[in-house]
Structures are given as structure tokens and as C-alpha cells.
Amino acid sequence: MNILSGQQNIQGINIRLHKVSKAVEVSKFLYKRGILIPAIRPPTVPARSSRLRLTVMSTHTREDMERLLDALRDVQDL
């Protein structure tokens, strides 16, 4: 998992997962935990660069961010 931020003037955080299947799997896993982060896949991004794209907003609470970080740690076990 590669985390990219501020790439190409995109306001957000990209978590590159490379494989389409992995990006979709992780997006579904997070959704089941109440976290909506869409999988971005070709042709929106180049082949072999599928990713999750998230934007942190001022309305997100500290608890929201902690829940996201916990879920991302769990993703490493998938």
C-alpha cells in the first residue's frame, strides 16, 4: 500500500493498491465498517495504479479519523 498526497493538484489522499481487485476488496471492507472510500480504477487512473481516494474534511471528528486509521491497520491483514 502506497500513500500519496497532493498528487497532480488533487486535494485528497490516494492510497495506491495497484490491483483493481484489491482496491475493490478494501473499499468493500471499509464500507462494511462504516467508512466510504471509493475504489478508483482504470480508465479513471492508469492501468496497475488502482487506488482508494479520500478527502479529509473539517467535519470529520478525531474519532472518525481514529476509526479510519484502525480500519486501515486491519486492511494490512487482508
Domain boundaries, the chain: 2-75
Q: pLDDT per residue over 30-63, tens digit each?
A: 999 999 999 999 999 999 999 999 998 889 999 9
| Domain range 2-75, CATH architecture | Alpha-Beta Complex (3.90)
Q: In what order do the strands lie in the sheet with 13-18?
A: 2-5, 13-18, 50-54, 39-40
Residues 6+ apart with CB under 8 A from 12: 5, 53, 54, 55, 56
- Please tell me the pTM assigned to this model: 0.80
Average pLDDT over the chain reads 88
